[in-house]
Amino acid sequence: MSDQNDSKGAEVIGRFRFMNQQRVNLDGFATPAPELGLIAFQSPHDPSPSITISEGMIVEMDGRHKDQFDAIDEFIALHGIDIDLAEKAMAIDSLEFARRLVNPSESRAKLVSVAAGMTPAKFADVLSRLTAAELVMAMTKMRARSTPSNQAHVTNRSDDPLLLAADAATAAAFGFREIETTVPVLGDAPSNAVAVSIGAAVGSPGVLVQCSVEEAAELAMGMRGLVSYAETVSLYGTEQIFIDGDDTPWSKAFLTSAYASRGIKMRVTSGGGAEALMGGAEKCSMFYLESRCVSLARAIGSQGVQNGGIDSAAVAGSVPGGVRSLMAENLMVMLRNLEACTGNDALMSESDVRRTSRTHPIFVAGSDFICSGFGSIQRYDNMFGPSQWNSEDIDDFLAMQRDWGVDGGLRTADEQEVARLRRRATEAVSAVYTWLGLGDFNTEWAEQAIDAAGSKDISESDMMVPLNASNTIMDTGVTMLDVIAALAENGFDLEADRCLDMLKARVTGDYLQTSAIFDEQMNVLSLVTDPNQYSGPGTGYKPGPERQAEIDTIRQQRSAADLRSEQHGFKSSNLRVAEMATVSHDPRDVVIGVSPATGRDIWRTLSGMLVTEAIEELMAGLEEEGCVGRIVRINNSIDLGMIGLNAARMSGSGISIGLQAKGTALIHRRDLAPLANLELYSVAPTITPELYRLMGINAGRHAKGMTPEPMRNPYSDDAIEARYHTRVVSLVAMERQCSSTDEPELLEITS
């Protein structure tokens, strides 16, 4: 559909042409079509929950006899259901169990143990009954780990090792506890893994690193210690799509154990809409198929799941209730007692409003990882595709944390500290690559990588370096032990220690448990060591004082003292008191009444002009009309109406201009009520010198008894109040401090 014409080619009226141009209309919205799997909840073809157990075996599940089980049913029936509990759990009314999920007095531990006896269809039936607000309550209680966290994507278009390392260090500085990288060129993967691992170690102890590539290649890098966790182990809800993904539940179960056998953390990936996208949904709802994935994840022994649409989030987002289903998928994982890495990954909408709406309930509820891939780099550098949240949005996310007092896993990073970390990360990678014969970097390249906001800022990079480095890593069998030795040989002792700590963590194995991350002291935070114990207001996770300060103290915040000292930077002595002001009887006399802080604490208006410049424009305007302006500081009021009225009462013409030091101005007359006025400029930040000149002219015309054409306030669709209200509060407080019962003073401007 074009903006100008509807689907039948008829011309569209202006209101709809305008609406059609809004970004949300770039998104695709689908009419529900169960036969294509384009339905969020409850396809007519979804099975009803059921289970039949005979001789300790599941012989029927969700309407299917065991002879008809596909490979997914079979694995879940063999391994995924608590058979002792199943008949009792399945007999519980779904609505009643849904209510227990949001009841704070029902413990998480009890609910997950009962849910262990439920089939995929039962899970779908229970969780489809929760409203959006109930999902928030249930997620608050049901996530495994108490402390929320977040995961970053760190990638770039050229697999530039220096930029990867600098960006990994930056991501760690912003608080991300997991970093996921991937490659545009498959052969570059080992180089990316090494560069990101080094960069993460520069940024912080204990940041987990993965490199997302094909299953076998990812495992091979893990075995060499080049990455510390894995996530790209995909599950699908129908057998056909599972097989198309070149795996079976058995191969995935084996792969899961293979990671654990090397002490490497892993989670699986699934997400509603994937089967529909690949044309193999078997007429089932996205939510039911996802329930099969999550049940299988538990059955194969994965500690966690990344879901919530992921690559197919926009498919779920295209149908009614789809965004709610994405969050309900995450809750499904939590109810299976697994780590939830809750999507908010691939960008699901062109609209900033929709993408924020999609994330926000999860953000306020808290999850093990709010995003399973916050693009900590710019959209164009994200080799997974743009994320729901990107480096463009880091300050937004930090402000949202502060607004709601929510721990979304991020913190403000100091600019100078980030500059230092980026330099050290590039130096460490250069040293290691040179030492191990992986490649060399020139100084210009390094300097550009340190400063770069993205790979487009780097002209010096050599695209062959990562590929050559990767080939050498594979051919010569470089392991993390070699990287550690190279770091130490080149004076990067701190980073060598941090990389070694990540290897030692694999020996201890505590981070194999559900929802494990490391804090910056290398303590494991997991279901075991940091369990979520929410049971109503006043319980559960609460940031400690230090963490709360990180959430509250964003770099943009300013105190009244900051603004006072900023004003004093514009201090001058050219506005001084001449004498006490008197009442004039000259009909050409127009008093410009200024506020108490004018020339005492405030010298600059919100538009950035000096107050004296504004006064000079007013004076010049009056002069053009043959009037004479007098500058009188009204000390006994900070209210602009009262300042104007007091000034008018001293004015020979009976007309005055009132001016607050922040720039707001009006024309008053001595017979009007205090809060009335003849003309007003209410939005100080937008007032230009020309407008003050015009106000002077109009005041002069009023003084002469004319009726001038009223001035127009400049209009803008910017959120002017949002930009300036905090300043206004401070400036008004300064005015209040300067106000007194002192008589009005005549001021003069000297040059």
Active site (catalytic) residues: 151, 153, 180, 231, 306, 345, 372
Q: Can you read off the two tokens belonging to residue 333? A: 């994982």
Cα 289-293-297 angle, rounded to 5 deg:
165
Which positions from 534 through 593 interact with other proteins, judged by CB under 8 A?
A: none
Pick one of 303, 367, 426, 605: the residue that binds other proteins (CB under 8 A): 303
Q: Which stretch binds other proteins (CB under 8 A): 79-87, 89-97, 437-445, 460-468?
A: 79-87
255 interacts with other proteins by CB under 8 A: yes
Q: Which stretch binds other proteins (CB under 8 A): 284-292, 496-504, 591-599, 684-692?
A: 496-504
Alpha-carbon distance of 334 to 330, in angstroms, equals 7
Binding map of other proteins across residues 316-355, x = CB under 8 A, - = no contact: ---------------------xx-----------------
Rounded to 10°, the helix 215-223/249-261 angle is 10
The nearest distance, CB 190 to other proteins, in angstroms, is: 15
- Toward other proteins, which CB reaches closer, 500 or 554? 500
The nearest distance, CB 431 to other proteins, in angstroms, is: 14
What is the residue whose two structure tokens read 């506005």? Answer: 575
**Number of Cβ atoms within 10 Å of the Cβ of 367:** 33
Pick one of 16, 18, 29, 254: the residue that binds other proteins (CB under 8 A): 254
Q: Which stretch binds other proteins (CB under 8 A): 181-189, 444-452, 486-494, 612-620?
A: 486-494
Pick one of 45, 79, 129, 402: the residue that binds other proteins (CB under 8 A): 79
Alpha-carbon distance of 334 to 395, in angstroms, equals 29
Sign of CA dihedral 115, 120, 121, 125: positive
489 interacts with other proteins by CB under 8 A: yes
533 interacts with other proteins by CB under 8 A: no
The nearest distance, CB 329 to other proteins, in angstroms, is: 19
- Contact (CB, 8 A) for 47 and 63: yes
The nearest distance, CB 565 to other proteins, in angstroms, is: 47
Looking at beta carbons, which pairs linking 46-49 to residues 24 or more positions away fall under 8 Å? 46/121, 46/124, 46/284, 46/285, 46/288, 47/121, 47/288, 48/121, 48/125, 49/90, 49/94, 49/118, 49/119, 49/121, 49/122, 49/125
Sign of CA dihedral 227, 181, 488, 462: positive
278 interacts with other proteins by CB under 8 A: no
- Toward other proteins, which CB reaches closer, 500 or 749? 500
301 interacts with other proteins by CB under 8 A: yes
Torsion of CA 304, 308, 310, 312, to 10 degrees: 140
Pick one of 94, 155, 238, 256: the residue that binds other proteins (CB under 8 A): 256
Strand-pair category, 304-306 with 339-341: parallel
Pick one of 163, 219, 294, 738: the residue that binds other proteins (CB under 8 A): 219
Element (H, E) at 670: none
Cα 174-517-193 angle, rounded to 5 deg:
70
428: nearest Cα among 488, 501, 497, 502: 488
Q: Which stretch binds other proteins (CB under 8 A): 273-281, 362-370, 391-399, 480-488?
A: 480-488
528 interacts with other proteins by CB under 8 A: yes
Pick one of 169, 253, 425, 697: the residue that binds other proteins (CB under 8 A): 253
**DSSP conformational letter for 369:** B
Which positions from 93 through 112 interact with other proteins, judged by CB under 8 A?
A: 109, 112
Cα 499-455-429 angle, rounded to 5 deg:
25
- Toward other proteins, which CB reaches closer, 524 or 661? 524
Q: Which stretch binds other proteins (CB under 8 A): 204-212, 375-383, 482-490, 670-678?
A: 482-490
- Toward other proteins, which CB reaches closer, 253 or 293? 253
Pick one of 12, 30, 53, 78: the residue that binds other proteins (CB under 8 A): 78
**DSSP conformational letter for 744:** P
* DSSP H helical ranges for 366-492: 394-404, 415-435, 443-451, 464-476, 480-489
- Toward other proteins, which CB reaches closer, 17 or 66? 66
The nearest distance, CB 116 to other proteins, in angstroms, is: 7
491 interacts with other proteins by CB under 8 A: no
Residue 649 sits at φ, ψ, to 5 deg, of -70, -20
Radius of gyration of the chain, Cα coordinates, nearest whole angstrom = 33
57 interacts with other proteins by CB under 8 A: no
Alpha-carbon distance of 170 to 175, in angstroms, equals 9
- Toward other proteins, which CB reaches closer, 145 or 701? 145
Contact residues for other proteins, defined by CB under 8 A:
70-71, 74-75, 78-80, 82, 109, 112-113, 116, 215-216, 219-220, 223-225, 239, 243, 246-248, 250-251, 253-263, 298-303, 337-338, 479, 481, 484-485, 488-489, 493, 496-497, 500, 503-504, 506-510, 512-514, 527-528
